[in-house]
Amino acid sequence: MPADEKRLKVLFLCTGNSCRSQMAEGWARALKADIIEPYSAGTKPHEVDPLAVKVMAEVGVDLSNQKSKSIESLKDIRFDYVITLCDDANETCPFFPGAVKTVHVGFDDPPGLARAAATEEEALAIYRRVRDEIMVFVEEMPDHLPDMHE
C-alpha cells in the first residue's frame, strides 16, 4: 500500500485560509507528515497573511509558497477529517460526502486581534501565541480527536 493511503487526509478549514488554517497545515507538514496528509482551505479565501508567514518562518516552517485555496478547489479529495479553526468556518462548513468527521477547534483570530496593536511587535506577539497554540494542537494529533486513533 502506498504511504499516502495510510496517512489521514485532514482539511484545516477557516474563513480566509490566510492565517490559522495555513499555520495548521504548515505544522502538520512539519510535525506529522508520516501520519497526516494535510490540506487547508477557506470558505472565503484571501491572500496568505504575511505576518503568519513571518512567525512560522521564525520556527522553521516555510509558508512562503502557500496559496489560499477555496473548498471548491479540493472537492475531489475524500478527507478523513475536516477541522474548523474559526467560528465562522464552523457555522458555514459545507457538507462533505463520505465518512468525513468534522471537528471544531477554535483559535483566536490573529489579524482581528492585531488591529488593536500599537506596533508590529505587539501584533507579532499575538500571531506567535496563536501559532504556538496551533502547534500544540497539531502535536497531539491524532490521539486527541474522536476516532482518529482507531
CATH number (domain holding residue 55): 3.40.50.2300
Q: Compute CA distances 100 → 8, 16, 19, 30, whole Å.
A: 11, 21, 23, 23
91 belongs to a structural domain: yes
pLDDT at 132 over 50: yes
Which residues belong to the active site? 14, 86, 93
**Number of compact structural domains in the chain:** 1
Which tens digit of pLDDT belongs to each residue from 19-56?
Answer: 999 999 999 999 999 999 999 999 888 899 999 999 99
144 belongs to a structural domain: no
Q: What pLDDT does 146 receive?
A: 64
150 belongs to a structural domain: no
Which tens digit of pLDDT belongs to each residue from 3-27?
Answer: 445 899 999 999 888 999 999 999 9
145 belongs to a structural domain: no
11: domain range? Answer: 3-139
Closest C-alpha among 72, 20, 63 to residue 43? 72
